[in-house]
Amino acid sequence: MNIEEPNLTPAQPPSRILRRVLISVGVLALLLALFYAEENWRGQRAWENCKRELETKGVVLDWNKFIPPPVPDDQNFFKASKMGVWFVRSQSGLTNELTRRLDNVVDTMANNLNEAFAVKYLAWSDQFAPDFDLVREALKRPYARMDGDYSKPHEQPIPNFVTVRSVAQTLAQRAKCELLLGQPDKALQDLTLLHDMCRLLEAAPTGKPMTLVSAMINVAVTGLYVYTLANGLESHAWKESQLVVLQKQLAEVNLAPFMIGAFACEPAGSVSWLEHYKPSELFNLSAIVTRSNRPETLWDKIRSLKGRWWDFVPHGWICQNIVHYRKISDDIHASLFNGTGLVTPKKADRAALMLEEKLDQPGLFDSLAAIAIPNFSKALQIFAFNQTKANEAQIVCALELHRLANGNYPDSLDALVPKFIAKLPHDIIGGQPLHYHRAPDGKFLLYSVGWNETDDNGSPGTLADVKKGDWVWQYPLQ
């Protein structure tokens, strides 16, 4: 029997295998290079077209134009004694001594004031009188520009919001106590400082750069100021001369430019970052902000690694993300305010719904927008509510002046002009006059149509749910 020998194929030389591997790697590298080149070209072209379109609309894209110019030290609030230490956030995160001393008391914002508490609180807070005098003196300077590197948007110096909050709450509580004890002159002094402190948040006089956080802290401080002076209006504690001063201060409250500035500044900063730095740094920065002050967990570390893959994608994909982000941001911006600074709730609600639907499951080119666009709808509602309360308070001061002069409130707001108020503020919702009725009991009803843009005959909504009812001036403020 013949047994056939197996047909053995000679093994390929290692050099041939290596050559085929190298050829395969080369082809793959070439395809990858062509893919990156094509995606980069497409993305860059889309971004260039988007920039031209936005620039024709007057949109400012260059971050450098948001950087405040240098100012003389002797005219700069933050260069006055201790102001830079107290009111500029420390990179180390350490709390400054003023904030520590202000927070070193229990129940500083008691809801139910009585004379015993008022006396005790004023005695405790008198220790800050020299500090508050330093702030008053510093606020005489016309500029408020912090030292620091503004070239990197997310590393720019920002105000110390914790100190601002602590000082504002202390001044407001002092004013309430002084009103309760029949000391309106002292209350006006503290309220005036509270009012003037907004200048450091507004980056006077340029308003550059304006972050949304700074704008919203400004809104909150203004709301605290209005709510506090309302205590004196409710009890008729303010005298004629004090009402005139308060009315003038209230007429200066115009929060819209800073909100508009923030909605222009934030996209410019994010885009500048992505054009010059690693995308993962911005994505991970968002995670850090979301995490706030809680300790970093293992899941946080894993999430931070997920953002790093953006450093290896074609730069054109980053450009496409920028295009989508800018278009969404500017569509939102256009929907929030009209040319005169009025708020348009229906447009804002439609924009919020569109954004929610679009970013519920963000696509590849919507990732930046999903993390960078803030809850603008809620921010706009709080802004509009507090600005309305400031406008109403301005009118109420005029109504009180009329009452002091004539013994009653007028039948219409027109009777206040020009003797008791130079110009009546309008309703920032729609721009129509605020609604006013003199009640049969001698009191009055003053209100805005509110977020629903509907006259509900003075049925009030609240700050907790500003989308319902009218925004009514009532005591205590709702």
Q: Give kind and range of the element (H or E) at residue 54.
A: helix 14-56
Please report the pLDDT score of residue 291 as a whole number: 39
Tens digits of residue pLDDT in 249-287: 999 999 999 998 998 898 888 888 777 777 666 655 544
Q: How far apart are CA 453 and CA 435, in angstroms?
A: 13
Cα→Cα distances 196→168, 189, 202, 340, Å: 11, 11, 10, 25
The residue among 436, 380, 375 whose CA lies nearest residue 410 is: 436
The residue among 163, 179, 171 whose CA lies nearest residue 129 is: 171
Please report the pLDDT score of residue 164 as a whole number: 96
pTM assigned to the model: 0.86
Of the candidate ranges 64-68, 414-418, 462-466, the one whose mean pLDDT is the lowest: 462-466
The tokens for 437 are 């009725």
The residue among 244, 235, 108 whose CA lies nearest residue 180 is: 235
Please report the pLDDT score of residue 5 as a whole number: 55
Cα→Cα distances 242→88, 137, 225, 280, 441, Å: 32, 21, 15, 54, 26
Sign of torsion over alpha carbons 78, 83, 84, 87: negative
Please report the pLDDT score of residue 478 as a whole number: 62
Of the candidate ranges 221-230, 404-413, 436-445, the one whose mean pLDDT is the lowest: 436-445
Tens digits of residue pLDDT in 281-323: 665 554 433 434 445 555 455 555 555 667 788 888 888 888 8
Domain ranges of the chain: 73-209, 265-379
| More confident call, 174 vs 108 | 174
Please report the pLDDT score of residue 157 as a whole number: 93
Of the candidate ranges 10-24, 59-73, 125-139, the one whose mean pLDDT is the lowest: 10-24
Please report the pLDDT score of residue 181 as a whole number: 96
The residue among 403, 377, 376, 398 whose CA lies nearest residue 473 is: 398
Q: Cis ω on the peptide bond leading into residue 159 (within 30° of 0)?
A: no
Please report the pLDDT score of residue 290 as a whole number: 41
Tally Cβ neighbours within 10 Å of residue 31.
Answer: 10
Contact between residue 253 and residue 261 where contact means Cβ atoms under 8 Å apart: no
Q: How far apart are CA 148 and CA 145, in angstroms?
A: 9
Q: Across all residues in the chain, what is the average pLDDT? A: 86
**What percent of the chain has pLDDT above 90?**
54
Q: How far apart are CA 308 and CA 329, in angstroms?
A: 24
Tens digits of residue pLDDT in 207-244: 999 999 999 999 999 999 999 999 999 999 999 999 99
Helices (H), 181-211: 184-196, 198-201
Tens digits of residue pLDDT in 72-115: 999 999 999 999 999 999 876 677 888 888 876 544 455 568 99
Please report the pLDDT score of residue 258 as a whole number: 93
Q: What does the DSSP assignment read for 5-49?
A: PP-PPPPPPHHHHHHHHHHHHHHHHHHHHHHHHHHHHHHHHHHHH
Please report the pLDDT score of residue 106 as a whole number: 45
Tens digits of residue pLDDT in 329-366: 877 777 676 666 788 888 888 888 887 777 777 777 88
Contact between residue 135 and residue 148 where contact means Cβ atoms under 8 Å apart: no
